[in-house]
Structure 1
């Protein structure tokens, strides 16, 4: 009996030791040799970590390499297959001035790319190749994208093969002034440049333009378009065109071969001058969310809806608007004839109205709608030619001097003081007040860029628009 008890205790001891080792191996105590890594949650639950493998597998087969040839040499970029019968989205600047376009699929098949349509005002273009049953990227919803959300950028950077990089959404509704400074056809089309980029820190380099920005589910939320860099290579800031805007533009190309944008007919400060303008109106930036309307075009959708200068538009179709870039993008998603619901502030009270957007009449230029005297009244400025002696002193071939500035005019709103010397408007040299008239008439409702010399001798740039 005594021998049996000893045997029992011996077996029980080893069972306890075995159980102890089992639990010890399941939950090892952290030591200096075993660092604790917490991914996905503060509890250290590794089941919640971010996984890009599935998204990358879904997207990379549908992102293509684009090569172009032109008299200037040619270019490289990326594109996104959005329909299995060969429709491919890319940037306008990737294929601009191309004499031939070659599309290379990830499986190395090459096709001739046919240009369906392109829009300098949004930097989007649509190509078509003769192929079927192609893999596609599922379109997502850029309105649902959140700052801090993980994203994946896929493209062909620096002549490399398909490359995926990860990061987060850093901001939304960004306006960086790249479209109006690089595209001059916008003025010919008579529409304003639309910039409301998704900003990300996912690494994007030259060659990524036109590629895909997707969420962790592999859904397209943006078309990669630009980087902010002093060197030309990735420096932490990259920008993508929201897919909800791209959907509308690309559908227009498919149906009409061109963009058909509905116009509201309002003017407002450019994104770079919004805060300064609000301060001049006695409004503290940030205290009122919305877009301050500076002018209503006669006979426009806005005029018929009862909007007035001084109104602050806060919502479009129930969605809060925080900036003019976001406002422009949401209007640009609509076609002529579409009705939009607007909520706005007037005299501190919220009001609501509906506006039926109108088609832009390209057969009538700005001169027939607005006399030169009315234009100068809006600018709120007077000019005189720059004397030859000053041209020589400053080392310029042209220029006019701003002699007067009215506080409630465009120049006063964007902070152009008397004594400023205007040298260029939209890339054209300005030598006389007549040159200003010509440049503004050609620009129409497009974004207008003024390059000037400030009274202190520094070089400055100003951007504004007469409407959108």
Structure 2
């Protein structure tokens, strides 16, 4: 037999074998007499992978991650101060004493809002969003097993929209911090939270972008907000705020914070604060009571074609951060940075945009040193900068804990100077906490500023906490009217009988 004949024979055998195989498969997937849809539906590769014989490995499905994380994601219920301007009928006695109109019958002095939180230690520390707990007079935490606790706020950071809470419990399930720097675009992630009050809801998606700035914190803290979000297409809705974004290992890589939507509900993309920033802020709040913000002290803009055209220059790189100003006595000035320099990395990590640079610096504390790589006149230069705080020093700023005074289950403290100046007040006292049922039922709320008390002797102006306690002790047991305002300037009053 010649080689030509051999190869022709092999080819003919292959063709015959293929025809027979196709005929056999066609017979299998086209039953002659189908009595059910189980028989009618053709066999496919997916069918062969189904059933008890096939199990997706834990590393490439969502089951193991969900089982780890769900017990440690909590439902946060916030009782918020009611600050809508009170309205009521004209009362000449109220006008005589200068009492604002009382709210109409049926109006509530407080409203409830809900969100999510993530337990990050077995002794009850919980991370959530600042906007979930802002202005809350009371916080209730519900665990996945329906246990409930009252939480206190350890600290908040509006510049990153993060807050740290604490409940009194031990041995709690918690989520470990992952490294959001290692998270890659296209990686599978899970969002866990309580959307629309639906407890312990899990959704899946992928990381669709990193270092995303969407401008939701633009007006916070003199424009010094940090927005360098992880963007994902995992479904997130109202109530998910403060919940967990985790990888398939069940590690926390972000705190779900916002959605891109014209309707208020999910419209394709959601955004999470990256875990590297979350961990730093949580450490600050636990240790110091306030976030330690480090600043390079330079005004910056994204390198872009539009910026190049407006400045009539040609940038040597397509991505980077352009320095448009340098503050006096700043770490940037001390390091020799100048207007026109283009920062391309910090500590060896590329800074492709402003959000990226801000996040890298925000992970540091005043006094920390960073290596800044920049381009000037076509040359790449590296300098070492010492970061400073808002005051231009390297001091760590600790939260000042005000002295509180208690009367009938209500704690009072002096008005912060910032609030006094903002509301143009000469005196008064702030309600720090309301534990007494009598005052709570009367309408007292945390954060309310008391400016006057009306008793049987008339109206007494409150200048400070000492004066308030003096008046309350003199009238103990007698009905009084408490006048004042919320910290947004809304006037209000309530009666304590």
- Alignment match, 2:71: 61
Deviations 1:409-448 (A, max 9, x none): xxxxxxxxxxxxxxxxxxxxxxxxxxxxxxxxxxxxxxxx
- Alignment match, 1:75: 113
Question: CA separation in 2, counterparts of 1:285 and 1:220?
Answer: 38
Give the structure-1-normalised TM-score: 0.66
Alignment match of 1:196 (pick from 228, 234, 238): 228
Deviations 1:65-90 (A, max 9, x none): 00011223131000000011110000
Question: CA separation in 2, counterparts of 1:298 and 1:114?
Answer: 39
Question: CA separation in 2, counterparts of 1:286 and 1:89?
Answer: 42
Question: CA separation in 1, counterparts of 2:125 and 2:370?
Answer: 29
Alignment match of 1:326 (pick from 335, 340, 356): 356
Question: CA separation in 1, counterparts of 2:183 and 2:315?
Answer: 25
Alignment of 1:171-182 (within 5 A): 171-181=209-219
247-256 vs 275-284, greater mean Cα deviation: 275-284
- Alignment match, 1:115: 153
- Alignment match, 1:260: 292
49 and 336 in structure 1: CA distance in 2 versus 1, 3 angstrom threshold? closer
Conserved 8 A contact 1:317-1:340: yes
Question: CA separation in 2, counterparts of 1:93 and 1:192?
Answer: 17
Alignment of 1:375-394 (within 5 A): none
Question: CA separation in 2, counterparts of 1:250 and 1:220?
Answer: 13
Question: CA separation in 2, counterparts of 1:37 and 1:147?
Answer: 27
- Alignment match, 1:290: 320
Question: CA separation in 2, counterparts of 1:353 and 1:99?
Answer: 48
Alignment of 1:4-403 (within 5 A): 33-37=42-46, 50-72=60-82, 73-181=111-219, 183=220, 186-187=221-222, 192-269=224-301, 276-282=306-312, 287-361=317-391
- Larger Rg: 1 or 2? 2
How far apart are residue 275 of structure 1 and its match?
5.0
Conserved 8 A contact 1:39-1:49: no
Conserved 8 A contact 1:87-1:127: yes
Question: CA separation in 2, counterparts of 1:332 and 1:206?
Answer: 27
Deviations 1:248-303 (A, max 9, x none): 1111101100011111110012x6x9553233234678943210001111111111
Which residues of structure 2 form unaligned runs of 5+?
Answer: 1-23, 31-40, 50-54, 83-110, 394-497
Question: CA separation in 2, counterparts of 1:126 and 1:88?
Answer: 6
Question: CA separation in 2, counterparts of 1:152 and 1:260?
Answer: 30
Deviations 1:224-266 (A, max 9, x none): 0000111111111100000101111111101100011111110
How far apart are residue 321 of structure 1 and its match?
1.1
Which residues of structure 1 form unaligned runs of 5+?
Answer: 1-23, 364-468
Deviations 1:79-108 (A, max 9, x none): 000011110000000001111111111111
Question: CA separation in 2, counterparts of 1:146 and 1:38?
Answer: 32
302 and 76 in structure 1: CA distance in 2 versus 1, 3 angstrom threshold? same
- Alignment match, 2:461: none
Say how many residue pairs are matched.
328
Question: CA separation in 2, counterparts of 1:84 and 1:286?
Answer: 51
How far apart are residue 48 of structure 1 and its match?
9.4
Conserved 8 A contact 1:260-1:336: yes
46 and 96 in structure 1: CA distance in 2 versus 1, 3 angstrom threshold? closer
Question: CA separation in 1, counterparts of 2:368 and 2:287?
Answer: 16
How far apart are residue 36 of structure 1 and its match?
3.3
Conserved 8 A contact 2:319-2:352: yes
